């Protein structure tokens, strides 16, 4: 199969977001057959971007799912030059074929010399046996064949990471995908339109494409402007224990693989590992980070260096913003909630308590019903597993609702004593889309705890049940 690269100077396949790609508001279970962006979500879709040097993107239609007859469902992200790469993967024991393959690629290459990521939506290629592994391998090798093979062959391993998302337990229409990969390669471009099209192509039940970009500088090279871009997908089966669903980060900063992996792990633990829609962890969760160094400057050889600390802050903040778009698009969600646990004895304790509250069905349904039932929050704190001794002292624990408009917090429990709650004000706070639940542990048993952690989640609605009751149909 021959591939000849023709980099586009402008998108030749993209339809404007207000045009044919997004017309009607429905959720679908692969790239939508009649996609639209709800009015309330359009503010989260960027109209422009600043993308890292030498990275290119494309999104094309394949028809992975038969019901999708025209919309993009195959994305290709590639670098003109080899990249350092790192990734985090699902801890679900039924790991999808592309997870297994991508892990092998990184191990065999020691995180260096990666050129591309190929992603299909519409079929997860999970629990598909040896045939599924063969399909994932074929996707990677077909992309590899589009590049100069001298460096790739020398490493003896594929230079392409593979991701899939969609229904579990079904085989890919692999012939259709493989024949389309040269078209995806030829369509590669650096334009915002094509980055957005790639972000759209990886969507499943998402109602909007999730794409961010930003620029930054580093202490050692103040005159160089670096760029960081990322995309993710997901709206359900979200309670990650590594990364999330699918996500990709790209930068033109010079970061070797041995620095990139701990940097990514730190950022993910405070972002993609701190979100929850429904408490389920997917078989396909993967977050990959590629750095090609195309902008120049001194390599960042340690996360503990001045540059390392600076970029850790940049990437952590960026991944928090990107991961929160998933919660903004949670299946059936009407609320975007941050639970912040402060004055804890340790960061792990704070994080476990925040996660337990975030995945509580009773807390989530109360929020949907606009019911200030803070007893459910206390209940979740009390049954949190794996806490250190004296982590929770009821007589020191306080809970408040913090409105998004910046007005004073509504105190619900103060040092173990219930407050007389203004139900009218509570109702007004819960009418808003955004809310913070603040849990103050009072320093724990010793009183000296100062650690804190946050988790972001959404509510449970009738629509969530409807969406997931007919997922395959």
Residues 345-361 pLDDT 10s: 999 999 999 999 998 99
Active site residue 356: no
The band of 450, judged by pLDDT with boundaries at 50, 70 and 90, is: very high
Is residue 385 over pLDDT 60?
Answer: yes
Is residue 230 over pLDDT 50?
Answer: yes
Is residue 64 over pLDDT 90?
Answer: yes
Torsion 343-347-348-352 (CA) sign: positive
Give the per-residue pLDDT at 273: 86
Lowest average pLDDT, out of 6-15, 124-133, 330-339, goes to 6-15
C-beta separation of 271 from 308 below 8 A: no
Catalytic residue of the set 160, 191, 244, 251? 244
Q: Say what the pTM is.
A: 0.84
Give the per-residue pLDDT at 462: 81
Give the per-residue pLDDT at 30: 38
Predicted confidence (pLDDT) per residue in 296-311, tens digit: 999 999 999 999 999 9
C-beta separation of 359 from 455 below 8 A: no
Q: Which residue did the predictor score with more confidence, 65 or 253?
A: 253
C-beta separation of 31 from 66 below 8 A: no
Give the number of other Cβ atoms within 10 Å of residue 427's Cβ.
Answer: 12
Is residue 22 over pLDDT 70?
Answer: no
Is residue 85 over pLDDT 90?
Answer: yes
Q: Which residue did the predictor score with more confidence, 230 or 236?
A: 230
Angle at 292 between CA 1 and CA 135, to 5 degrees: 35
Q: Which residue did the predictor score with more confidence, 93 or 113?
A: 113
Kind of pairing, strands 74-89 and 112-123? antiparallel
Q: In this prediction, what percent of the chain has a pLDDT beyond 70?
A: 86
C-beta separation of 311 from 304 below 8 A: no
Give the per-residue pLDDT at 470: 62
């Amino acid at each position: 199969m021959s591939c000849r690269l023709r980099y586009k100077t402008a998108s030749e396949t993209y339809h404007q977001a207000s045009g044919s790609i997004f017309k009607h508001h429905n959720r679908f279970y692969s790239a939508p057959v009649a996609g639209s962006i709800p009015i309330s979500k359009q503010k989260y879709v960027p109209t422009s971007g600043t993308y890292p040097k030498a990275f290119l993107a494309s999104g094309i239609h394949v028809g992975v799912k038969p019901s999708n007859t025209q919309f993009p469902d195959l994305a290709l992200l590639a670098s003109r030059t080899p990249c350092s790469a790192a990734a985090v993967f699902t801890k679900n024991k039924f790991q999808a074929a592309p997870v297994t393959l991508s892990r092998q690629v990184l191990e065999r290459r020691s995180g260096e010399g990666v050129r591309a990521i190929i992603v299909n939506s519409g079929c997860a290629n999970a629990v598909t046996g040896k045939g599924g592994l063969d399909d994932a391998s074929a996707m990677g090798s077909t992309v590899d064949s589009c590049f100069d093979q001298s460096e790739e062959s020398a490493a003896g391993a594929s230079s392409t990471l593979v991701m899939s998302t969609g229904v579990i337990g079904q085989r890919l229409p692999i012939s259709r995908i493989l024949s389309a990969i040269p078209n995806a390669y030829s369509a590669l471009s650096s334009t915002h339109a094509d980055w957005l099209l790639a972000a759209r192509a990886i969507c499943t039940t998402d109602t909007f494409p999730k794409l961010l970009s930003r620029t930054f500088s580093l202490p050692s090279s103040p005159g160089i402007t670096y760029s960081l871009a990322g995309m993710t997908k997901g709206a359900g089966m979200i309670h990650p224990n590594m990364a999330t669903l699918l996500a990709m980060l790209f930068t033109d900063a010079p970061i070797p693989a041995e620095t990139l992996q701990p940097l990514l792990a730190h950022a993910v633990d405070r972002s993609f590992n701190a979100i929850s829609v429904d408490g389920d962890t997917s078989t396909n969760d993967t977050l990959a980070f590629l750095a090609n160094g195309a902008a120049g400057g001194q390599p960042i050889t340690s996360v503990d260096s001045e540059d390392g600390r600076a970029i850790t802050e940049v990437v952590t903040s960026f991944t928090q913003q990107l991961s929160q778009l998933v919660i903004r698009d949670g299946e059936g969600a009407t609320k975007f909630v941050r639970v912040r646990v402060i004055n804890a004895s340790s960061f792990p304790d704070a994080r476990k308590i925040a996660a337990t509250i975030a995945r509580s069905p009773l807390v989530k349904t109360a929020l949907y019903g606009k019911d200030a039932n803070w007893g459910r929050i206390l209940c979740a704190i009390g049954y949190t597993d794996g806490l250190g001794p004296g982590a929770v002292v009821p007589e020191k624990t306080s809970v408040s609702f913090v409105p998004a408009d910046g007005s004073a917090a509504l105190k619900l429990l103060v040092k173990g004593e219930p407050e007389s709650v203004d139900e009218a004000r509570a109702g007004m706070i819960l009418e808003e889309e955004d809310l913070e639940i603040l849990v103050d542990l009072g320093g724990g048993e010793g009183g000296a705890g100062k650690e804190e952690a946050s988790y972001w989640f959404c509510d449970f609605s009738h629509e969530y049940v409807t969406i997931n009751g007919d997922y395959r149909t």
